[in-house]
Amino acid sequence: MVASNPETRFDAFHHHTIPYKTINNQPIDAELLIPKAITPGPHPLVAQFHGGGLFTGKALYADWFPPYLVSFALANAAVIVAPNYRLLPEHSGADVLADLADFWAWLHGALPALLSSKAEGVTADLDRLLVAGESAGGWLALQSVYSLPAGTIKAMHLPYPMSQPLPGGNKKEMMGMSLPDAAAVEAWLAAIKPGVVVSSAAPPARLLEGLALMQQPGRRTQFLGEGKRFNPYEGLDDATWFPRTWVIHGADDEVVSVDYSVQLVEKLDRLFPGKARLTVKPGNHGFDGEVDPEKEEWLKEGLEWVREAWLL
């Protein structure tokens, strides 16, 4: 399978890092991947939002970037655009949403000319836009639907999306990893430097601290924000449109409950019949990391269902 090795996952692309905004003189970047075999003419786009609980992650962290999505983009001669965004706890959920809005303004405004300057004769087909996002990236993908004009996104692919804020609790470990205790979390928070912009981090840095922080009562609303604006599941109540969306989830997910995706798709079925499909497979968070669409018929069929709305 193309891109099965994380070390060579993006070798079939020309890679460009481009700031889409600046905060405190510090750039926030989008990563642009243009297939090396691309031909002149209009090409579809894939906007990919990385996961990491909103605490960690970076746009082209290969270990978390689904290899089948890379292969899918190449098979359809698509350009991938993957933004970074400000992370908690240095920043708030409102900051993340501001970055999301600025990214979309940049993509529709500046990206077409930038793409043509990087690949002569290549143009961005903004009418064929696929949005993907795993885990917390799914949170940004869903928020994108609520903020963009109807029909802007043709299809979405959401692996184990964080469609609701992660709940608090008293978990001591997740996925076999021990969470830091309260003292370690407080030391992490105390080390935050005012004014420093943090918009990417290579996992697992910050992940366990972030998950531990969300276990503490009141911390979720303190750092993410409170209300429908920060809860995509509740925000769906006000949605006026929705693209075709394929959600996949591991039945044994310890980070984002599979119940979240069941509830999301059931609600979508009520509000926008026929727009959503859910596939549940055995496995934990990130279960799809090495699945091969040529060997897994369910993945091949699901991607084709997405492609029909995206390109046909």
Per-residue tens of pLDDT for the chain, all 312 residues: 567 789 999 999 999 999 999 999 999 999 999 999 999 999 999 999 999 999 999 999 999 999 999 999 999 999 999 999 999 999 999 999 999 999 999 999 999 999 999 999 999 999 999 999 999 999 999 999 999 999 999 999 999 999 999 888 888 999 889 999 999 999 999 999 988 999 999 999 999 999 999 888 889 899 999 999 999 999 999 999 999 999 999 999 999 999 999 999 999 999 999 999 999 999 999 999 988 888 899 999 999 999 999 998
Query: How are beta strands 177-178 and 244-250 bridged, if at all?
Result: unpaired
Per DSSP, the residues of the chain read -TT-SGGGTTTTEEEEEEEEEEETTEEEEEEEEEETT--SEEEEEEEEE--STTTSB-TT-GGGS-HHHHHHHHHTTPEEEEE----TTTS-HHHHHHHHHHHHHHHHHTHHHHHHHHSTTEEEEEEEEEEEE-THHHHHHHHHHHHS-TTS--EEEEES---SPPP----SEETTEEPP-HHHHHHHHHTPPTT-----B-TTTTHHHHHHHHHSTTHHHHHT--SGGG-HHHHGGG-S---EEEEEEETT-SSS-HHHHHHHHHHHHHHSTTSEEEEEES-STTTTTT--TTT-HHHHHHHHHHHHHHH-
The pLDDT of residue 2 is 61
The pLDDT of residue 3 is 74
Domain spans, the chain: 6-311
The pLDDT of residue 292 is 83
The pLDDT of residue 1 is 54
The pLDDT of residue 148 is 98
Which of 112, 251, 66, 257 has its CA nearest to residue 171?
257
The pLDDT of residue 217 is 87
Does domain 6-311 bear CATH number 3.40.50.1820?
yes
